[in-house]
């Protein structure tokens, strides 16, 4: 009675204040609920990206010439995808798309980056790291970068190396700046070359710095691993590389120690963040050339250093899993295992990969490999594991590394700003193997950068588009060949997974439909539902 009377006696302003207070209370209670819910869905996340690893290169995907027990265990305890893809068949564009959630053909200079490339992903771009950082994660990239460092004038090797990963969402980084067949062989920690002595500055360039500078051409007989094409410039650790450099001797590493270093730094990062959600992008350099695994792995397989590097990669995966087990984090950590492009045997060094291949099929039953839009170029091992959350099994859903930004944004309850992650789809359900959750209906594949060759897979149809009319992408006796090809080819992946029989003439309406759809996806500037249109000029 009294209460009613009191309320009825309140002025209009008082009532409004009361209502506002109630609303505020309601909002803060709901926010704390959401917070708790979000925390419940904030597993640690480790993306292990192998380099140049093919669909058929690990035993859980059918390899019999070698055994990869740790990767196999990951698959046994998780979900092994048979249609898991990266978005391009070379490194830089796949890494660009994985981080930004945008097809690399939409970006500038997204092709294979040279040693002195400036940062390709501009500060302020939404990335998988910035999304997870916003969600409260500690974020790190450890391993190969190959996405450029520094402003438009390129990396300042003796000064501050920025912008770089730290300007697009990573709290910390420990990097091989490009790819190890390119100069220089130094680590970059956050904004600096590690252990650089200012008295011995590092110089990196495209031209021979002096007439007597030893190279793979002038001192070929001194090399511990000979080159087969390119890779004949500056020599370090008995291996000649792409590009030239001098100085920075105290900062240089040995190729044989790279994998150990990635594991050491990763274990440190995991230990530091064991009580806090973390995101680790473990960017292995295995099994890219020059393949120079640690001495303890050399000779472990019959496949030469290419096979031995797979064993080294497998060891790294085992160390990461063991660290999670030791810290009791396995049930609170989502691991995604993938590759940046398909396999290649001779990629510039005479390491015996072709001679020792025997019956091993690096791309499994698929055709093509690195540099190609055949399935072998982009369909790779792809495994997700989250103990006691993901039901172990095999999934045929179509998923791609480009979908990780939107899917992990969904997992951690983050909104994607309108123009960001233009081609990333939320496939969280499919990645976690939830019942009735579907993967992609269609995926665009490309070979390199923004002037390349495209393909589109829609269901079981696959259309290739060769604007240049030639393709350096057919693996014949495991060697790359330039061939003249029709501009469009159509394959039925269900009947012909090796893409041997072009059926474009038999199915003109499918060919035309996919041509139009591919054109539309390229022109419309984004394929994520709800994406805001962009002005193509910017
Ligand atoms: C090519 C290199 C190749 C490799 C590739 C990049 C030559 C002849 N070939 O230009 O060896 O470095 O670039 O590989 O130099 S990727 O996996 O990082 O994309
Ligand atoms: Ca690669």
- pLDDT tens-digit profile of 203-242? 999 999 999 999 999 999 999 999 999 999 999 999 999 9
Cα(291) to centroid(ligand 1), Å: 13
User: Which sign, positive or negative, has the C-alpha torsion 102, 107, 113, 118?
Assistant: negative
The residue out of 385, 409, 440 marking a domain boundary is: 440
pLDDT band at 342 (very low <50, low <70, confident <90, very high): very high
Among 266-280, 308-322, 373-387, 456-470, which stretch is predicted with the lowest mean pLDDT? 456-470
| Residue 231 alpha carbon, nearest atom of ligand 1 | 15
How confident is the model over 477-490, as a mean pLDDT?
73
Please say if the pLDDT value at position 5 is more than 90.
Answer: no
Task: Give tens-digit pLDDT for 501-510.
Answer: 999 999 999 9
Higher pLDDT, 23 or 146: 146
Report the separation in Å between the CA atom of 472 and the middle of ligand 1, taken as the mean of its atom positions: 13
Cβ neighbours, 10 Å, residue 494:
9
Domain assignment present for residue 535? The answer is no
Same domain? 435 vs 514: no
List the CATH number of the domain containing 167.
3.40.720.10
Average pLDDT of the chain to the nearest whole number: 91
Question: Which residue has a Cα nearest atom 8 of ligand 1?
Answer: 230
pLDDT for the residue numbered 485: 78
Q: Which of 89, 90, 229 to mutate to test the pocket of ligand 1 (most atoms within 8 A of CB)?
A: 90
Q: pLDDT category, 476, cuts 50, 70, 90?
A: very low
User: What pLDDT is attached to residue 530?
Assistant: 81
At CA 400, angle to CA 328 and CA 366, rounded to 5? 110
Task: Give the per-residue pLDDT at 422.
Answer: 97
- DSSP assignment letter at 227: B
Question: Which CATH number covers residue 486?
Answer: 3.30.1120.10
Q: Give residue 351 CA to ligand 1 midpoint distance, Å.
A: 15
Q: What one-character DSSP code corresponds to residue 251?
A: G
Reduce the secondary structure of 300-350 to three states and give it as a string. Answer: CCCCCHHHHHHHHHHHHHHHHHHHHHHCCCHHHEEEEEEECCCCCCCCCEC
Both 160 and 297 in a single domain? yes
- Ligand lying closest to the C-alpha of residue 242: 1
- 144: helix, coil or strand? strand
Number of domain units in the chain: 2
Contact 368, 377 (CB under 8 A): yes
* pLDDT(287) > 90: yes
- Helix, strand, coil percentages for the chain (3-state, nearest 5): 30, 20, 50
Please name which ligand lies nearest the alpha carbon of 345.
1
**What is the per-residue pLDDT for 418?**
85
**Which residue is closest in CA terms to ligand 1's atom 4?**
347
* Residue with the two structure tokens 């990969």: 353
Nearest CA to ligand 1 atom 5: 112
E strands of 156-222, at which residues?
172-176, 188-189, 192-193, 203-205
Residue 372 sits in the same domain as residue 497: no
Q: What is the pLDDT of residue 39?
A: 40
Atom of ligand 1 minimally distant from the CA of 112 = 19
Atom of ligand 1 nearest to the CA of 178: 18
pLDDT reading at 537 higher than 70: no
Q: How far apart are CA 283 and CA 279, in angstroms?
A: 12
My answer on whether 465 and 427 are in the same domain is: no
Strands 138-144 and 79-85: unpaired
What's the CA-to-centroid distance between 138 and ligand 2, angstroms?
26
Model-level pTM? 0.92
Kindly indicate the confidence band of residue 20, based on its pLDDT and cuts at 50, 70 and 90.
low
Q: Are residues 451 and 414 in the same domain?
A: no
Is residue 471 over pLDDT 70? no
Q: For ligand 1, is residue 348 a contact (CB within 6 Å)?
A: yes
* Percent of the chain predicted with pLDDT > 70: 89
Domain co-membership, 469 together with 423: no
Measured CA angle at 188 (ends 182, 192), to 5 deg = 125
Least-confidence region, from 6-20, 307-321, 445-459, 499-513: 6-20
Q: Is the CB of 39 under 6 A from ligand 1?
A: no
DSSP reduced 3-state for 520: helix
Which residue in this structure is represented by tokens 């051409």?
217
Q: What range does the domain containing 57 cover?
A: 41-200+252-440
pLDDT of residue 373: 94
Nearest CA owner, ligand 1 atom 6:
112
pLDDT tens for 235-253 read 999 999 999 999 999 999 9
CB 284 within 8 A of CB 313: yes
Q: What is the pLDDT of residue 253?
A: 98
DSSP-derived 3-state class of residue 123: coil
In a domain, 11, yes or no: no
Whether 188 is covered by a domain: the verdict is yes
Question: Do 359 and 345 fall into the same domain?
Answer: yes
Span between the terminal Cα atoms of the chain, in Å: 66
Task: State in Å: Cα 391 to ligand 2 middle.
Answer: 30
Single out the residue in 440, 470, 493 at which a domain terminates: 440
Paired tokens of 80: 């092994």
pLDDT at site 19: 53
Average of per-residue pLDDT across 295-314: 98
CA dihedral for 150, 151, 156, 160, sign (positive or negative) = negative
What are the residues facing 204 on neighbouring strands? 245
Q: Using a 6 Å cutoff on CB, does residue 511 contact ligand 1?
A: no
- Higher pLDDT: 418 or 363? It is 363
DSSP code per residue over 444-477: EEESSTTSS-EEEEETTEEEEE-TTSEEEEEEET
Task: Read off the pLDDT band of 483 (50, 70, 90).
Answer: confident
Q: Is the pLDDT of residue 159 over 70?
A: yes
Cβ of 53 below 6 Å from ligand 1:
no
Residues 409 and 498 in one domain: no
Q: What 8-state DSSP symbol labels residue 512? A: H
Q: Same domain for 76 and 193? A: yes
pLDDT in the model for residue 484: 76
Residues 415 and 451 in one domain: no
Do residues 162 and 286 share a domain? yes
pLDDT band at residue 473, thresholds of 50, 70 and 90?
Answer: low
Probe residue for ligand 1, chosen from 96, 97, 242 as the CB with the greatest number of ligand atoms within 8 Å: 242
> Which ligand 1 atom is the nearest neighbour of the CA of 347?
11
Which of 412, 440, 468 is the endpoint of a domain? 440
Q: Is the same domain home to 380 and 300?
A: yes
State if residue 90 touches ligand 1 by the CB under 6 angstroms criterion. Answer: yes
The yes-or-no verdict on residue 513 having pLDDT over 80 is yes
- DSSP character at residue 379: B
pLDDT number for residue 313: 99
């Amino acid at each position: 009675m009294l209460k009613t009377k009191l309320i009825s006696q309140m002025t209009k302003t008082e009532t409004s204040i009361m209502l506002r207070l109630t609303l505020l209370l309601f909002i803060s209670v709901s926010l704390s609920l959401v917070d708790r819910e979000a925390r419940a869905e904030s597993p640690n996340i480790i993306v292990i990206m192998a380099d140049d690893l093919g669909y058929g290169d690990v035993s859980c995907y059918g390899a019999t010439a070698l055994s990869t027990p740790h990767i196999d265990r990951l698959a046994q305890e998780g979900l092994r995808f048979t249609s898991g893809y990266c978005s391009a068949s070379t490194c830089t564009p796949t890494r660009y798309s994985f981080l930004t959630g945008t097809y690399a053909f939409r970006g500038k200079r997204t092709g294979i980056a040279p040693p002195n490339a400036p940062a390709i992903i501009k500060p302020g771009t939404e990335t998988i790291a910035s999304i997870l950082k916003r969600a409260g994660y500690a974020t790190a990239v450890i391993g190969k970068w190959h996405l450029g460092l520094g402003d438009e004038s390129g990396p300042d090797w003796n000064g501050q190396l920025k912008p770089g990963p730290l300007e697009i969402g990573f709290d910390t980084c420990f990097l091989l700046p490009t790819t190890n067949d390119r100069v220089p062989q130094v680590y970059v920690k956050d904004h600096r070359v590690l252990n650089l002595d200012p008295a011995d500055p590092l110089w990196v360039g495209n031209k021979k710095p002096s007439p007597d500078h030893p190279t793979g051409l002038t001192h070929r007989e001194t090399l511990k691993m000979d080159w087969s094409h390119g890779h004949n410039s500056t020599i370090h650790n008995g291996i000649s590389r792409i590009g030239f450099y001098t100085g920075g001797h105290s900062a240089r590493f040995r190729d044989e120690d790279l994998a150990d270093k990635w594991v050491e730094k990763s274990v440190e990062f995991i230990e530091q963040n064991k009580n806090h959600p973390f995101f680790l992008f473990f960017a292995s350099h295995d099994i890219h050339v020059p393949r120079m695994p640690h001495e303890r792995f050399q000779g472990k397989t019959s496949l030469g250093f290419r096979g031995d590097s797979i064993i080294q990669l497998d060891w790294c995966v085992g160390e990461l899993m063991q660290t999670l087990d030791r810290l009791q984090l396995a049930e609170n950590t989502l691991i995604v295992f993938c590759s940046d492009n398909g396999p290649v045997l001779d990629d510039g060094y005479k390491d015996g990969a072709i001679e020792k291949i025997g019956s091993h099929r690096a791309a499994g039953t698929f055709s093509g490999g690195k540099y190609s839009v055949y399935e072998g170029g982009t369909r790779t091992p792809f495994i997700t594991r989250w103990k006691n959350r993901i039901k172990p099994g095999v999934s045929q859903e179509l998923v791609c590394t480009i979908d990780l930004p939107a899917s992990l944004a969904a997992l951690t309850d983050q909104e994607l700003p309108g123009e960001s992650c233009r081609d990333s789809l939320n496939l969280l359900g499919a990645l976690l193997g939830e019942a009735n959750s579907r993967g992609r209906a269609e995926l665009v594949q490309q070979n390199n950068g923004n002037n390349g060759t495209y393909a589109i897979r829609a269901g079981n149809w696959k259309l290739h588009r060769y604007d240049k009319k030639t393709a350096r992408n057919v693996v014949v006796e495991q060697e790359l060949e330039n061939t003249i090809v029709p501009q469009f080819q159509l394959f039925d992946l269900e009947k012909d997974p090796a893409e041997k029989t072009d059926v474009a003439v038999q199915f003109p309406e499918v060919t035309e439909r996919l041509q139009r759809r591919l054109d539309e996806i390229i022109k419309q500037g984004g394929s994520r539902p709800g994406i805001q249109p962009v002005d193509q000029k910017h």
